[in-house]
Amino acid sequence: MTTQAPGAHATTHATPASPASSSPAHQRAPFVPNPHPRHGASTIIGFIVAAALVFGGFYMMGMAFSVPGAEFLLFAGGIVVDAIGLWVAFGLIPYLADRRRD
């Protein structure tokens, strides 16, 4: 037999439910349309082109040290191609997508 202080209640050690499952606000009903619009084909193609530019720039920078006499030109060209690819992905495509929504 255990003794408890007056006014103390026995507590149960049940594990609390995860916050995502206990709140109905976090649950989505099946087959409810997504409020965010889908990306168009031009956006997807643009990101593929941007990825090709970025990885192509990395390849150019890597190849720069194996081509004698053109090290600086290949490395600088790789940096420029990387910059263009990142600008397309994070500058041009979001700008055009915002213009299209307006």
With a cut of 70, say whether residue 3 has pLDDT above it: no
Q: Is residue 73 part of a domain?
A: yes
How many distinct structural domains can be found in the chain? 1
- How confident is the model over 38-52, as a mean pLDDT? 90
Q: Is residue 84 exposed (0-12), middle (13-18) or buried (19+ Cβ within 10 Å)? A: middle
With a cut of 90, say whether residue 97 has pLDDT above it: no
| Alpha-helix residue ranges (DSSP H) falling in the chain | 19-22, 41-63, 71-87, 93-101
- pLDDT for 35 equals 77
With a cut of 70, say whether residue 51 has pLDDT above it: yes
Q: Is residue 58 part of a domain?
A: yes
- pLDDT for 31 equals 77
Domain that holds residue 78: 54-102
Q: Is residue 75 part of a domain?
A: yes
